Structures are given as structure tokens and as C-alpha cells.
A and B are shown apart, each in its own frame.
Chain A
Amino acid sequence: METLGVLLTFPMNPYLEEELDRRCNLFRLWESPPESRREFLRAHAGSIRAVVGNATCGADADTIDALPKLEIISSFSVGLDKIDLEKCRQRGIRVTNTPDVLTEDTADLAIGLAISVLRRIPQADRYVRSGSWKSKGDYKLTNKFSGKTVGIIGLGRIGMAVAKRAEAFDCPISYHSRSEKPGTNYKYYSTVVDLAANSQVLIVACALTPETRHIVNREVMDALGPKGVLINIGRGPHVDEAELVKALVEGRLGGAGIDVFEQEPHVPEELFGLENVVLLPHVGSGTVETRKEMADLVLGNLEAHCTNKPLLTPVI
């Protein structure tokens, strides 16, 4: 792989970066300031045959156009929303992602967020750390998680893993998907609004496409209601963020556990003071174990490409 020129779009993982540096000819996109991006790409266009991107920075149309030698995009994510897939198809560029290895961590986080929001665990932790626990008699009640009806948007790998976990808490499961999935006992709703109206916890677990942008809009949030909780482990643009803030501040939505935002790393500051939200910095796959597996999958795909073997996890 030593002759493979790889453009790394973001310092996403030290191990991945070290390996790419060691085994390939590495170009780090962030080393050039944004204003000089074009020049940077032009300067190295002759060498760059691969791009490794992630959920923060992928390969849009401009980037792909600037790299005439580009053969493969190996994404350090399962989500493909930051890659112009149509351009890749046109140019015959291969695309790989990191499915399966991050399914469990993401599903774990969805359930962890639901419990955290309903039982107000981060709030309790803040309360104790502030030295406020002065008497034994603080009897504020929080909401039970077990038995809550869970509605899942998207019943793919991650959605199914979320369902399996929620079932262990005796949660009735329903879902919305582009089409009904055979072989499950879960209740299907053909619209997200109906799903939300019949759920107490609504979990976003689908892919981000032009069709699913703002799939959780004001109408959905109102249907979920003042006792409902929204959990987003998909992508920021799945949820109309401005409406989310309003719904939470106005009490029309009961609570939210959000791992992804429309303009990461920026989070609407109105959320910082709310007790019924938990805010995470896009850590859905953020474990030592899984990030290493993701990195190895990226490297494995690049290696396969260079040795003319079948790609490990091709999308295109």
C-alpha cells in the first residue's frame, strides 16, 4: 500500500492515522487552512487515489471533482450522508463503510440515553457534585423506563439491536420503516407521526438521505408530546433542530437524548440549561474497542483494493 496516496479528511482516530502514515502516502486535509483547500487538493491531486472520511468530513462533489485519480473512498462511519454517492457511481469510484462493528455500541447508547433522560442520571450526578445533597429526604421522582412503549425509526441493523435491548426492559416495540419488515413481531406504522403518537420513547436509527432529512419535525414532536422522549443516534439533520429547541423549552416535548446535531460541534445553547435533556458529542461509536475495529475495517478495505481482492464492506 506504500504507493497509495490517501487523503485523510479529519483527525478522526490516532491509530488509524498512524497506520495510514506508516503504510501509505498520507495527506492530512486539515493541515491546510480552509481557504487554501482548493490549492492543497490541486497540489496533491496527482497522488491521491483514496479518501478516508467520516461523519464530520466526507467527500462531497467538489472534493471528488478535484481528485481525478480517486479510486476509492473508505468511510470511517456507517453513515454515507457526507459522500456524494451519485458522483462516485458516475466516476466508478468504490465506496466502503463500517457497518456491523458499531451496531452494538450505537444501540447501547440509545438505551443508555433513554434511561439517562427518563431517570435524570446526569442531573443527579450534577446535584451530588455540586454539594447540594444535604439531607436524606430529597424525594423527587423520575420517570420509569421499563415498560415504556418504544418507537424506532428505521429497523436496520442498529434499529433491530435497539429493539432487542428494549425488549429486555419489557418495552413494547413499534417502528416505522420505508417498508414493513417480515419476520418481526413489532408493530409497524406507515407514518412517523402515527409512530410518535403511539410511542413514549421515539428513537431515530435510520440512514440520513434526502428523504429522511427532518423526518422528526414539529408535527412528530407534538405527536410524541409533553411526556414523550426523543432519542437521536442517527444524524443531526434527522431532526428539525430549531423546532426541537422550541418544543423542549415550551414543554411540548417531554425530554430528549441527543448524540448528533445539525451543525456539530455547535449545540443550541438554549438546551444547556434544561433538566430534561442529555447532550452528547457524537459518541455513538465512541469506544476504544469499536473505533479500532472501524479503523481496521478501513485499512482492510484499502488493502483489499490495492491487492485486487474483494472489498470487505463495499457500498458501491
Chain B
Amino acid sequence: MHHHHLPLISNVPLLPSSLILCPPSPNSRSPRRRITLVRASMDGNGELPLVLLVRPLFPAFEDSLRQHFRFLLPWESTLPTHEFLSANARSIRALLCFGPSPVDGSTLSCLPGLQCVVATSAGVDHIDMDECRRRGILVTNAGDVFSDDAADYAVGLLIDVLRRISASDRFVRSGLWPIRGHYPLGFKLGGKRVGIIGLGSIGSRVAKRLEAFGCTILYHSRTTRPSLAYKYFSNVCDLAAESDVLIVTCALTRETHHLINKDVLLALGKDGVVINIGRGALIDEKELVRCLREGVIGGAGLDVFENEPNVPKELFAMDNVVLSHHRAIFTPESFSGLLQLVIDNLKAFFDGRPLLSPISA
């Protein structure tokens, strides 16, 4: 199997040539080449639409994106960012926000003409949504493109924790099987009561998968989903009290910060397992580590942490914990789906059509 390694670089690569309509340089008098292959829509000046970046593009996305859009790169300027933004404010209507780079109030205040922010993640806690709502700025997220992979990962983490897959793989690789004879037993997944926190695009897919394993699905969400026959809990503690497993798949907002706290963990109980593929700050991490250390809960599978890439080192010695480095959605399919969605959202915006994955208020 091949890995696509995408190193994050900070210098901007050159524009690819040939297939792209070259934007005119300010002093050039040479005629523009018009290439009919280009499918991009043009703005009023016959140029590709302009999009502000807050950090460099993924190299793997670069070629495709630059076929459709021109990008404004604040870090290339000698001006401080806010001055640069203000100087270009008139021409900035759209912002493409890769990864978790913040789009905060002070950035937004430099961009009076901004009408659309295209984000590349499912969660948008790094974007000042209050300010966007106030100004009527449309924000899009990753929609459903990641949801299957995220759900698969959550299920994979859960099976790993219960059946000790990573821990016993370590055991075998260290040559201990012939010496120790056997590995401690795990716990059965079938029949477990799984409490899902956030029954959106990802949570509902987790539910569908785990039902096939014989799990009973319970949930807490901002709104009920009456079309799904799962038991709803308006209170996360109550959900935890009736669950053997908690799976966190909700958005991080002011209200959900440290949603999983000491009380919830206590209610979950000593055989309980927590799986987090949402955001680290959804769980009170210090409290989680204490509960694992003291056996208040039974185990955890964590893809996200409060202060990445820092992971509490106490967890490294625990066999009832599975750790990974925020990559629940890192598959070629999710990435190419994301690229297409970003292009489609931006094109829709510039064409005046409805956005594909807008975040509703």
C-alpha cells in the first residue's frame, strides 16, 4: 500500500504553467493567452476569482485549485498581516481556510468585503462563527466528505480498546507470546450500550455500523432525531449512566467545551470506555487521565487532544488506551473528496449559486 506523504511547507511553490490562464502582471503589455480548456469561471476582468489564504495550500491540492482560482498570500508580503489585509480589503470576497488556522475577529475586521469562508474541516471552532453570523458571512465546512472515514476510525478505535488489538500487537512483536503464553482477555463488543454524543453526519454513521455488531445505540444531541429509533438523552450524565461506551462525535463550541467532565466519567463507570474523534477540548483531559489512572473508567481511544501535539505522557504506559495523532479522516478518498468540495463551494459562491455545504445558523 502506498502512503501519500504531504509535508507541510511554508514557502509557496511556483504557479504551474501551460494549462492555466496567466493572470496579467501589472507592467506587462503582452497579450494574454486564452486557453479554452480552462473551465474556471472568470471575474469581471476576465481573471480567475481571487481567494484569500491564511496559510499555504496543501501541495497535493495546489495544481487543481490554481486552475480555478488566484490566491492572495499575506505571508509573502513585507507588510504586517493586518495591514496587508486592509490594503487588499476591497478585492477580498472569499477566504479559504485550510486546517485549523484561526479566522478570528481581528482578521475579519480587516475584511469588510468578505462574504464567504470556505473551511476544510468538519469542525469550525477555529472560526469566529458569532462574528460571521453577525455580518452574514457564509461559512462552509467539509460536509459529509469525511464522515465515513471518521466513523470507521471511531469503530476501529473502539474495537481496538475492547479487544486490545494495539496492545496485543505490541505483545506479539516484542516476542512475549512464547514466553508469557497468552495475553489478558478483552471485552465483548456485542450487547454493549453505546452512547453517541452528537448524532450528526459522523455520529449517525457510527450508530449504523455499531448496530451491526449488536450494540444498543443511545445518544445525546442538540436536537432529537425522531426518525432514528435510538433512545435520546437531553443530559450527558444521564446518557453516561446508561452507557458502557461513550463516543464523542460532536462539534466543539462554547457550550460543549469539557462536555465530558468528572461527573460524566464517574457516571460512565469503571468498565466504561470513551472514544474521542471530535476535538480534544470536548473532554476535560486532566480529569480523563486521572480517571484512567485510578480505574474510575475502563479505557479510552483518543484521536484528539486538548493541546496537540502534546499528549499526556501518563497515557503512554496504559494498555487500556489507544492513541492516535488526529488522523481519523486521513485517507486519499477523504482528501480528494475535500478538494472537490472546496472547488465546488468556491465556484458556487463566485457564480452566485447556493453553496454545497454551508453551516446553518
Contacts and interface: CB of A to CB of B under 8 A. Distances in A.
Given A122-B170, A125-B323, A144 B331 contact: yes
Contact of B1 (A113, A115, A135, A254): A254
A275 to B, nearest CB: 9
Interface string B151-189: 111011101101111101111110101100111011111
Contacts of B171: 281
Contacts of B316: 128-129, 131
B5 A140 contact: yes
B159 A265 contact: no
A28 to B, nearest CB: 14
B47 to A, nearest CB: 31
Interface string B317-356: 0000011111100111111000000000000000000000
Contacts of A137: 7-8
B148 A146 contact: yes
Contact of B168 (A11, A121, A127, A281): A281
Interface in A226-258: 226-227, 254-255
Pick from B1, B6, B8, B149 the residue with the most CB of A within 10 Å: B1
A228 B327 CA distance: 22
Nearest to B179: A265
Interface stretch (B193-201, B204-212, B228-236, B289-297): B204-212
B4 A140 contact: yes
A168 interface: yes
Contacts of B31: none
Interface string A127-144: 111010111111111111
A309 interface: no
Contacts of A119: 152-153, 156, 331
Given A136-B308, A288-B187, A141 B159 contact: no
Contacts of A266: 177-178
A255 B169 CA distance: 15
Contact of B163 (A124, A255, A286): A286
B241 interface: no
A272 B165 contact: no
A267 interface: yes
B160 A108 contact: no
A128 B170 CA distance: 14
B186 to A, nearest CB: 5
Contacts of A139: 5-8, 58, 327, 330
A209 to B, nearest CB: 26
Interface string A94-112: 0000000000110011011
Interface string A204-229: 00000000000000000000001100
Contacts of B322: 121, 125
Given A104-B213, A104-B214, A108-B163, A265 B178 contact: yes
B148 A121 contact: no
Contacts of A169: 148, 152, 209
B293 to A, nearest CB: 16
Contact of A142 (B6, B309, B330): B330
Given A115-B152, A133-B311, A128 B169 contact: no
Contact of A138 (B168, B209, B327, B335): B327
A142 B327 CA distance: 9
A253 to B, nearest CB: 10
B325 A138 contact: yes
B112 interface: no
A120 to B, nearest CB: 9
Given A137-B7, A144-B149, A165-B213, A289 B323 contact: no
Contacts, number: 202
Given A108-B189, A133-B309, A135-B309, A278 B155 contact: no
Contacts of A135: 8, 309
Given A104-B190, A109-B163, A121-B322, A287 B185 contact: yes
Nearest to A227: B1
A127 B7 CA distance: 17
Nearest to A286: B185
Contacts of B214: 104
B188 A290 contact: yes
B192 to A, nearest CB: 10
B166 A136 contact: no
Contacts of B39: none
B309 A121 contact: no
A57 interface: no
B3 interface: yes
B14 to A, nearest CB: 22
Nearest to A137: B8
Nearest to B187: A287
A280 B165 CA distance: 7
A145 interface: yes
Contact of B188 (A105, A147, A265): A105
A144 B148 contact: yes
Pick from A131, A137, A170, A264 the residue with the most CB of B within 10 Å: A137
A165 to B, nearest CB: 5
A108 B323 contact: no
A125 to B, nearest CB: 4
Nearest to B3: A140
B163 A145 contact: no
Nearest to A144: B331
A47 interface: no
A-B CB proximity, top 9 nearest: A112-B159, A168-B212, A115-B156, A124-B324, A137-B8, A265-B177, A139-B6, A128-B323, A144-B331
20 contacts: A104-B190, A121-B160, A121-B322, A122-B169, A124-B327, A125-B323, A127-B324, A128-B324, A138-B327, A141-B4, A141-B6, A141-B331, A144-B333, A146-B149, A266-B177, A267-B172, A283-B164, A288-B186, A289-B187, A291-B185
Given A136-B100, A138-B325, 13 more contacts: A104-B190, A111-B213, A124-B327, A125-B322, A140-B3, A140-B4, A140-B327, A143-B331, A144-B334, A146-B151, A169-B148, A280-B169, A281-B168
